Amino acid sequence: MTQAAAIEFDHVAYGVGDLSAEFSFSRAPGSVTAILGPSGAGKSTLLNLAAGFLAPRTGRILINGKPVNDLPPPERGVSMVFQDNNLFAHLDIRTNIGLGLDPALRLDAGGWRQVETALDRVGLAGFGKRQPASLSGGERQRVALARAFVRRRPLLLLDEPFDGLGPGLAADMLGLMLEIRAEVGATVLMVTHDPDEARAAADQILLVSKGQIAADAAAAGFFERHDLPELEAYLGRRPQP
Amino acid sequence: MLTRSEHRASRAVGVAALVLIGLALAAPVSVLVSQGAGSGLAGTQGDYLLRITRFTLLQAGLSTLLSVALAVPLARSLARRPSFKGRRWLINLFAVPLALPPLVAALGLLEVWGRNGVANNGLALFGLETPFSIYGLSGILIAHVFFNMPLAARLILPGLERLPPEYWKTAANLGMGGLSLFRLVEWPAMRRSAGGAAGLVFMLCATSFTLVLVLGGGPAATTLEVAIYQALRFDFDPGRAVLLSAIQIGLTLAVMLGLRLISLPTEAGDTKGGATDRPDVARGWRALPDALLIAAAGAFVGAPLVAVIVSGLAADLGRLLSDAQFWRAAGTSLMIGLAAATVSVSLAGLMVRARYSVGEPPASVWLSLLSGLSAAAGSLTLLVPPVVLGAGWFLMLGGGAGQLLAPLSVIVLINALMALPFVIRVIEPAHASAMERNGRLALSLGITGFNRIRQIDIPAMLAPLATGFVFAVALSLGDLGAIALFGSDRIVTLPWLLYQKLGSYRTADAAGLALLLGAATMVLMIIADRLGARLGPASWAGRHQP
């Protein structure tokens, strides 16, 4: 592979004792990876390490071939979408998106036009002056995607972003996310606990268990495999006779 | 759930309690009014009144401005650093000034900021000739900031800590700098509680008596409350006291109406500490500004407390403890405190019961009047500050000189009324949940009337009643307002004794007394707090000592 990996974890260790974790993996640009595993396995820890919210004990994190261990979160070229509270509840929708363009909100007319375009892109044209509380959960997540859209960062981290939206809405949102990813050309790491979501959106899987990567494999056919005890346990399947 | 006769009895005693409170408030006020109507307003007196009123507003305004302006960055720094060593300890320390008798705290402030205090000696090292004076406006401001800045910080902090952790991650991810984060996220989260804190602090400072009495004084730095005291105790000019009282009542009424408009924050210091990591905040040497601010605030609040302990221990405590005068004062204080707490808890209990009996919504105009008045009774005692209340009784008793029982009763009554709003706030929710739990059962077992009160209701509410009682004792123990008017050779309480020692420059004795009084009050407050904590934060958090 001549091209640098979009993201690489090189023996990245975090924490000590029961809460410790160690990850090594790398992903090519433009790939979509679903991160699966039981709760408490360290999925969010992995994303928080990549985003720079947590500092590793040892090991190197590289984004586009560049070590980022010492870079603060905003300089890592990362956008992040959480399950909840992505929007500042007291700021209107356009302000929430505008902050993605300039964190001090110094936007010229062109900047605000970009915000309107992004709103239009996620199907919320005309919602700019509304408050987050007046939107449904799905609409709020669309706004979060619109903010990631205007930011155009090479790495998109999603922490169970469509959890609790219901299957139909989650599938719509997943589609929207994939379109935006394609337009921005971003690499995606997506934590999910829904195998269907992983199947539908991801081309690769990271199965995390007890702070370790138990499986790093292609998504195609992954859930049909029976050689991984962690996967059997995670899916609650009985061992094959 | 009460029987018919229990309802009748509850309402009857509720009305009786209301009448008693009403008389205790209305009698002195009506005396003030009727006396005031007789006394004319001389031209020079108009100037005097205007000056006193202006200074009262000025010092309260400046105190509020300083307290809140310092509390906002302090709360922000504390929220930014959720997990340093000693954080919980520091936030608990911030609750101490309000629990301490103001006179004891004033003594600590004198040790630190006084002519020969730590601060002036420090300034002298830098070659500053003129010592900084704690007497006058500057001293009043330091004292009010000492009392209210920690309170305001404790009221503002939860607003920040309640924000979801994703906010800080998003802020870090987007790269929001300190300034835009403050403008767009932190300040909007603090604005409400900062406004409420400002209103509360203004109210406390506009009616502050002890601190101004000790640190202010002189015609240039006198507030309405102190001027009332001086008019009665030194000049025996009832007319002036009456006018001052009227202005004070009008002022507190205006402030209270204003406070209605901005909602008061109630959850003081309900802090998680360490729960939310702050990835948006820089570590290493860039934590220095926060660390310096937090350390300075800790030193500012802690130093006077340490000074009280150090100078108190340096005093001849053995001699003080073998002094008959001390034990007489302690006995009088304890007696007044126990009596005031008994009256306060009884009145609160009766009114809470009556309000419960009336129910929601009240069934008739008459009942809604009873319910509304009982609810207002608590606030009414804030409306008429202790010194104003005392002034009315003082005039009614003709100064109370040479009498014993009447002034003592008035002191007990004033102290009881002072504690009433806080006692009601502790008892009411506990009573509601106890009735919820036991009401139907008691009724189905046929346990009614006095039997029920004795065997079910009081045992079920022992903890909240005890909390209210201990709190009322502590409040009364530290009070200087009522005793300042009625204190005499025959009626000496611990704060009054302390004030006399301070006035006659027996500083070592004063320091020892302050330590003993402060320790006693703190122990009681901690007991009340512990008992209250068992009731759950909702019922107990947000008490404020006037």
How distant is the Cα of A71 from the closest Cα of chain B, in angstroms? 12
**A95–B185 CB contact, under 8 Å:** no
How distant is the Cα of A197 from the closest Cα of chain B, in angstroms? 23
All residues at 6 or more sequence positions from B6 whose CB lies less than 8 Å from its CB, including other chains: B357, B448, B449, B452
Could you tell me the residue range of the domain that residue B319 belongs to? 1-38+315-546
How distant is the Cα of B408 from the closest Cα of chain A, in angstroms? 54
CA distance to A178, B22, B199, B359, B380, per residue, from B427 (Å): 58, 21, 25, 16, 18
* Type of residue numbered B522: M
Mean pLDDT of B11-19: 80
Structure tokens, A5? 């990996």
Shared-domain flag, residues B290 and B404: no
Instruction: Tell me which chain B residues have a C-beta less than 8 angstroms from the C-beta of A95.
Output: 184
Shared-domain flag, residues B212 and B335: no
Residue that is last in its domain, among B313, B344, B371: B313
- pLDDT of residue A92 exceeding 80: yes
Most confidently modeled range among A28-42, B16-30, B209-223: A28-42
Cα–Cα distance, B2 to B10 (Å, whole number):
9
Cα–Cα distance, A65 to A59 (Å, whole number):
14
Shared-domain flag, residues B295 and B319: no
The pLDDT confidence band at residue A240, using thresholds 50, 70 and 90, is: low
Strand-pair category, A187-191 with A155-159: parallel
Neighbours of A165 (CB within 10 A): 18
Residue that is last in its domain, among B277, B292, B313: B313
More confident of the two residues B189 and B383: B189
How distant is the Cα of B169 from the closest Cα of chain A, in angstroms? 7
| Lowest-confidence region among A21-30, A97-106, B523-532 | B523-532
Cα–Cα distance, A97 to A127 (Å, whole number):
11
What's the DSSP call for residue B182?
A: I
Q: Are A27 and A225 in contact (CB under 8 A)?
A: no
How distant is the Cα of B163 from the closest Cα of chain A, in angstroms? 9
A129 touches chain B (CB under 8 A): no
Neighbours of A66 (CB within 10 A): 11
Residue B180 has its nearest CB partner, among A80, A84, A105, at A105
Mean pLDDT of B66-71: 96
Closest CA to A86 of A101, A70, A97: A97
Most confidently modeled range among B152-166, B249-263, B265-279: B152-166
The pLDDT confidence band at residue B362, using thresholds 50, 70 and 90, is: low
Instruction: Tell me which chain A residues have a C-beta less than 8 angstroms from the C-beta of B176.
Output: 99, 103-104
A166-175 residue pLDDT tens: 888 888 889 9
| Lowest-confidence region among A92-106, B258-272, B370-384 | B258-272
CA angle centred on B13, ends B12 and B14, rounded to 5°: 90
Shared-domain flag, residues B333 and B307: no
Domain boundaries, chain A: 7-235
Q: What integer pLDDT is reported at residue B272 of this predicted model?
A: 47
B367-390 residue pLDDT tens: 777 777 766 766 666 677 888 888
| Lowest-confidence region among A56-60, B297-301, B444-448, B483-487 | B444-448
**B176–A85 CB contact, under 8 Å:** no
Q: Are B230 and B503 in contact (CB under 8 A)?
A: no
The pLDDT confidence band at residue B102, using thresholds 50, 70 and 90, is: very high
B43 lies in some domain? no
Kindly report the average pLDDT of chain A as a whole number: 90
Q: Exposed/middle/buried for B445, CB within 10 Å: 0-12, 13-18, 19+?
A: exposed
CATH number at residue B163: 1.10.3720.10
How distant is the Cα of B286 from the closest Cα of chain A, in angstroms? 13
Q: Where are the alpha helices (DSSP H) in B175-279?
A: 178-181, 187-206, 210-215, 224-233, 238-261
**A103–B177 CB contact, under 8 Å:** yes
Strand-pair category, A58-63 with A66-67: antiparallel
Orientation angle between helical segments B238-261 and B386-396, nearest 10 degrees = 150
| Lowest-confidence region among A77-86, A121-130, A157-166 | A157-166
Closest CA to A208 of A96, A47, A5: A47
**A86–B166 CB contact, under 8 Å:** yes
Instruction: Tell me which chain A residues have a C-beta less than 8 angstroms from the C-beta of B175.
Output: 72-75, 103
Instruction: Tell me which chain B residues have a C-beta less than 8 angstroms from the C-beta of A86.
Output: 166, 170
A26-42 residue pLDDT tens: 999 999 999 999 888 88
In the 3-class helix/strand/coil scheme, how is B446-499 assigned residue by residue?
A: CCCHHHHHHHHHHHHCHHHHHHHHHHHHHHHHCCCHHHHHHCCCCCCCHHHHHH
Q: Exposed/middle/buried for B62, CB within 10 Å: 0-12, 13-18, 19+?
A: middle
Question: What SS3 class is residue A108?
Answer: coil
Residue B174 has its nearest CB partner, among A52, A91, A103, at A103
Shared-domain flag, residues B326 and B219: no
- pLDDT of residue B43 exceeding 60: no
Q: What integer pLDDT is reported at residue B274 of this predicted model?
A: 43
Chain A residue with minimum CA distance to B276: A53
B381 phi/psi in degrees, rounded to 5: -70, -20
Mean pLDDT of B54-80: 95
Chain A residue with minimum CA distance to B168: A53
B521-538 residue pLDDT tens: 999 988 888 887 765 443
**A51–B179 CB contact, under 8 Å:** no
Q: What integer pLDDT is reported at residue B37 of this predicted model?
A: 61
**A85–B166 CB contact, under 8 Å:** yes
B474 lies in some domain? yes
- pLDDT of residue B42 exceeding 80: no
Mean pLDDT of A147-154: 92
Shared-domain flag, residues B467 and B454: yes
How distant is the Cα of A42 from the closest Cα of chain B, in angstroms? 17
The pLDDT confidence band at residue B546, using thresholds 50, 70 and 90, is: very low
Cα–Cα distance, B144 to B138 (Å, whole number):
10
Residue B176 has its nearest CB partner, among A79, A95, A99, at A99
> How many distinct structural domains can be found in chain B?
2
A75 touches chain B (CB under 8 A): yes
How distant is the Cα of A83 from the closest Cα of chain B, in angstroms? 9
Q: Where are the alpha helices (DSSP H) in B3-42?
A: 4-38
**B179–A84 CB contact, under 8 Å:** no
Say what percent of chain A tops pLDDT 70.
Answer: 98
Shared-domain flag, residues B366 and B403: yes
B180 lies in some domain? yes
**B185–A105 CB contact, under 8 Å:** no
All residues at 6 or more sequence positions from A153 whose CB lies less than 8 Å from its CB, including other chains: A77, A78, A79, A184, A186
Shared-domain flag, residues B23 and B61: no
A184-222 residue pLDDT tens: 889 999 999 888 889 988 999 999 998 999 999 999 889
How distant is the Cα of A238 from the closest Cα of chain B, in angstroms? 37
Torsion sign across C-alpha atoms B229, B233, B234, B237: positive
Shared-domain flag, residues B135 and B20: no
Instruction: Tell me which chain A residues have a C-beta less than 8 angstroms from the C-beta of B173.
Output: 51, 73-74, 78-80
Kindly report the average pLDDT of chain B as a whole number: 83
Q: What share of chain A is helix, strand, coil (3-state, %, to 5)?
A: 35, 25, 40
Interface of B with A (CB under 8 A): 164-167, 169-177, 179-180, 184-185, 188-189, 277, 279-280, 282
Structure tokens, B85? 């060593």
Q: What integer pLDDT is reported at residue B544 of this predicted model?
A: 38
A131 touches chain B (CB under 8 A): no
All residues at 6 or more sequence positions from A86 whose CB lies less than 8 Å from its CB, including other chains: A140, A141, A143, A144, A147, B166, B170
Q: What integer pLDDT is reported at residue B145 of this predicted model?
A: 96
* Type of residue numbered B37: A
- Class of the domain covering A7-235: alpha beta
Q: What integer pLDDT is reported at residue B543 of this predicted model?
A: 40
B45 lies in some domain? no
Residue B175 has its nearest CB partner, among A53, A74, A95, at A74
Instruction: Tell me which chain A residues have a C-beta less than 8 angstroms from the C-beta of B174.
Output: 74, 99-100, 103, 151
Residue B167 has its nearest CB partner, among A54, A78, A88, at A88
Strand-pair category, A58-63 with A7-14: antiparallel
Closest CA to B108 of B484, B527, B529, B519: B519
A103 touches chain B (CB under 8 A): yes
Structure tokens, A81? 């979408």
Mean pLDDT of B340-351: 91
Structure tokens, B144? 């009010």
Q: Which of A63, A99, A106, A115 is the mutation pick for testing B, counting most B CBs within 10 A?
A: A99
**B174–A84 CB contact, under 8 Å:** no
Q: What integer pLDDT is reported at residue B273 of this predicted model?
A: 45
CA angle centred on A199, ends A197 and A205, rounded to 5°: 100
Q: What's the gap between Cα B15 and its chain centre? A: 27
**A95–B184 CB contact, under 8 Å:** yes
Question: What SS3 class is residue A32?
Answer: strand
Closest CA to B372 of B384, B358, B385: B358
Calculate the dihedral angle through the C-alpha atoms of B343, B346, B352, B354, rounding to the nearest 10 degrees. -110
Structure tokens, B258? 């204003």
Q: Are B262 and B195 in contact (CB under 8 A)?
A: yes
Q: Which residues pair with A61 in a beta bridge?
A: A9
Closest CA to B150 of B190, B104, B99: B99
All residues at 6 or more sequence positions from B290 whose CB lies less than 8 Å from its CB, including other chains: B77, B80, B81, B281
Q: Are B409 and B340 in contact (CB under 8 A)?
A: no
Q: What integer pLDDT is reported at residue B236 of this predicted model?
A: 80
Shared-domain flag, residues B264 and B352: no
Shared-domain flag, residues B271 and B336: no
**B184–A79 CB contact, under 8 Å:** no
Q: What integer pLDDT is reported at residue A130 of this predicted model?
A: 95
Instruction: Tell me which chain A residues have a C-beta less than 8 angstroms from the C-beta of B178.
Output: none
Shared-domain flag, residues B92 and B4: no
Please give the interface size between A and B, counted as residue pairs whose CB atoms are below 8 Å apart. Answer: 69
Q: Are A42 and A120 in contact (CB under 8 A)?
A: no
More confident of the two residues B452 and A68: A68
Q: Are B539 and B532 in contact (CB under 8 A)?
A: yes
Q: Are A221 and A198 in contact (CB under 8 A)?
A: no
- pLDDT of residue A226 exceeding 60: yes
Q: What integer pLDDT is reported at residue B474 of this predicted model?
A: 92
Mean pLDDT of B199-225: 86
| Lowest-confidence region among A92-96, B128-132, B279-283, B423-427 | B128-132
